[in-house]
Amino acid sequence: PTPGLLLLTSFLLHVEEGHASPARLVCDNRLIQKYIGEAKDMEKSAGQCQALPVLSCPAVLPLVDFSLQQWKSKPKETKRREILCDLALLVGAVVGAQDQVTEKCGAGQLDQLHQHASSFLLLLQTFSWEAGPWEPGCSPRSVEQTHVTSIFLTYRQLVQGKLRFFFHDLAKDLCK
């Protein structure tokens, strides 16, 4: 099974147990470190692919840099929605790049990235503090890039930055 599917399955099993919910994912700091490691590996592997094309149709990527001070002052739901927006845009960029990258190495890395980013997207949709479904009606700050490697860079920055801090925030509540 794919790593993304494993992540989702193990997560859903925890949700099924009732109050255990996503606590393990959030409370076990090694997991987010593992995802950061995987993001770095994918970025490195993609960078080693030969003949990655320049994207004729640029990928629209979220700008995922943020100020820690500002981030800390935001409510959890706002953070979650912001990350969901970034992830939704990123997954869209991956899909767009998949249409343009045909050689095996790059295509394989993009498939892997798509699985990981989609898993986080599904995962964050299940953390809801407010009633009502999540609508992807958001427009995060974005930038157009023509290099496939920038998609991997953005994903790594998102996991290392906002996602890691978000999990850290959740851990404070869930892991008492």
Q: Which domains does the chain have, with CATH numbers?
A: 22-174 (1.20.1250.10)
Lowest mean pLDDT among 56-65, 129-138, 142-151: 129-138
Banded pLDDT at 2 (limits 50, 70, 90)? low
Q: In sequence order, what are the residues at sequence separation of 6 or more whose Cβ sits closer than 8 angstroms to the Cβ of residue 86? A: 62, 64, 140, 158, 162
CA-based diameter of the chain, in Å?
A: 50
**DSSP classification of residue 21:** T
Q: Render pLDDT for 94-131 as a digit per residue (tens, 0 to 9).
A: 999 999 999 899 999 999 999 999 988 888 877 665 54
Three-state secondary structure call for residue 145: strand
